[in-house]
């Protein structure tokens, strides 16, 4: 690890593997180790894959007093083309075929990368034989715009948080701004290459792994005169999902850190007044940490 903070971002090349073809090979196992090491040590990593051009636009959330640059739209269950079409009809009653096709195409590719990563994680912990998924999820696609800050000053775009969805797969236009907090408290600016995605571990994945995986605190800081657009594919646990640590990852050396909890109740808690004053990473522990 060099002294340049950006050298602390693990970069993992996914372009040579597919779970269908390579599961069980030496290359696959090496990749498993890299993904596990990155998720445990850092909570995020950058994966290289062919870049596609997302088309993020309108906003459904934003104009917050504390985050005036931020606006965001969400498409629930974006893996289903009908769901994307419904969103299209909402935004463009006259239709926007290009938008829906683009969104469905990138969602499909991001879903594939998310699935590959989840399979790598299962295999990295030796769970691939017994489990065929971490937990049932649908994909929430989020399209976010950050306006350039007034006078280009260094200003918060989205406040520091850990993700409440299983994980996040993020890409943005070439306006940087995403920063992650390293375990030593140092904030690291990310400068991902155009053909890569950032994979971020969320609180449910941290809880599932009994704290082995690190949900990194992250934020967006805007600087300069260009707006920033980002696209995130967030595997969202299905309503009714109970988040619990996988028993194989609980032992004497790794005692259980959280009680099992209902995913939607946790989401509601994370949006409650009580948690507003809390450090985002502490919310899961405040909610389910009786150990």
Ligand X SMILES: O=C(O)CCC(=O)C(=O)O
Interface ranges with ligand X (CB under 6 A): 142, 144, 158, 163, 168, 170, 172, 178, 218, 220, 230, 232
**Binding site partner of 178, from ligand X, Fe ion, none, Cβ cut-off 5-8 A by kind:** ligand X
Contact yes or no for 76/140 (Cβ under 8 A): yes
Closest Cα partner for 171 from 106, 96, 88?
A: 106
Nearest CB to ligand X, comparing residues 199 and 261: 199
- Identify which range of 7-15, 157-165, 176-184, 274-282 contacts Fe ion by CB under 5 A: 157-165
Per CB under 5 A, the segment of 43-51, 135-143, 162-170, 268-276 that binds Fe ion is 162-170
Residue 203 sits in the site that holds Fe ion (CB under 5 A): no
- Give me the residues paired with residue 188 across strands: 180
213 binds, among ligand X, Fe ion, none (CB under 5 to 8 A by kind): none
Q: Pick one of 39, 163, 230, 234: the residue that binds Fe ion (CB under 5 A).
A: 163
142 binds, among ligand X, Fe ion, none (CB under 5 to 8 A by kind): ligand X
Q: Select from 121, 160, 132 the least CA-distant residue to 34.
A: 121
d(CA 232, CA 209): 22
State which residue, 29 or 161, has the beta carbon closest to Fe ion.
161
Q: Tokens for 14, please give them.
A: 């996914």
Q: How far is CA 182 from the centre of its chain?
A: 16
Is-contact 232 218, C-beta < 8 A? no
Stretch that binds Fe ion, among 122-130, 138-146, 155-163, 239-247 (CB under 5 A): 155-163
Residue entry with tokens 């934020």: 219
- Smallest distance from the beta carbon of 220 to ligand X, in angstroms? 5
What backbone phi and psi angles, to 5 degrees, belong to 57? -145, -125
Q: Choose the contact partner of 214 out of Fe ion, ligand X, none; CB within 5 to 8 A by kind.
A: none
Question: Which of Fe ion, ligand X, none does 188 bind, CB closer than 5 to 8 A by kind?
Answer: none
Contact status, residue 218 vs residue 177, Cβ threshold 8 Å:
no
**Quick one: what does residue 144 bind among ligand X, Fe ion, none, with the CB cut-off 5 to 8 Å set by partner type?**
ligand X
Type and span of the H or E element at 281: none
Task: Identify which of residues 111 and 203 has a Cβ nearer to ligand X in the complex.
Answer: 203
How many beta carbons lie within 10 A of that of residue 281, not counting itself?
18
The two structure tokens encoding residue 232: 């995130």
Report in angstroms how near the CB of residue 130 gets to ligand X at its nearest: 31
Looking at the Cβ atoms of 202 and 211, the one nearer to Fe ion is 202
Question: Quick check: 199 and 168 in contact, CB under 8 A?
Answer: yes
Binding site for Fe ion (CB under 5 A): 163
């Amino acid at each position: 690890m060099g002294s340049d903070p950006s050298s602390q971002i693990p970069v993992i090349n996914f372009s040579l593997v597919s779970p269908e073809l390579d599961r069980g090979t030496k290359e696959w196992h090496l990749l498993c180790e890299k993904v596990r090491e990155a998720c445990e040590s850092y909570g995020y990593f950058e994966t290289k894959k062919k870049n596609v051009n997302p088309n993020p636009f309108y906003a459904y959330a934003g104009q917050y007093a504390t985050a005036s640059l931020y606006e965001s739209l969400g498409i629930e269950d974006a893996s289903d083309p009908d769901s994307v079409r419904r969103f299209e009809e909402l935004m463009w009653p006259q239709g926007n075929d290009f938008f829906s096709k683009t969104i469905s195409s990138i969602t499909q590719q991001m879903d594939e990368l998310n699935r590959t990563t989840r399979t790598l994680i299962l295999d990295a912990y030796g769970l691939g034989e017994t489990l065929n998924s971490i937990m049932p999820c649908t994909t929430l696609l989020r399209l976010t715009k950050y306006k350039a800050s007034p006078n280009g000053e260094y200003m918060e775009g989205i406040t520091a948080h850990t993700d409440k969805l299983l994980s996040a797969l993020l890409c943005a236009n070439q306006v940087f701004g995403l920063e992650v907090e390293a375990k030593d408290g140092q904030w690291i600016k990310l400068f991902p290459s155009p053909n890569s995605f950032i994979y971020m571990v969320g609180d449910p994945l941290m809880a599932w792994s009994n704290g082995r995986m690190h949900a990194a605190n992250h934020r967006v800081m805007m600087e300069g005169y260009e707006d920033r657009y980002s696209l995130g594919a967030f595997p969202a646990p299905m309503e009714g999902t109970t988040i619990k640590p996988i028993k194989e990852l609980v032992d004497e050396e790794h005692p259980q850190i959280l009680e099992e909890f209902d995913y939607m109740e946790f989401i509601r808690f994370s949006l409650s007044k009580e948690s507003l004053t809390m450090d985002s990473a502490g919310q899961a522990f405040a909610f389910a940490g009786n150990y």
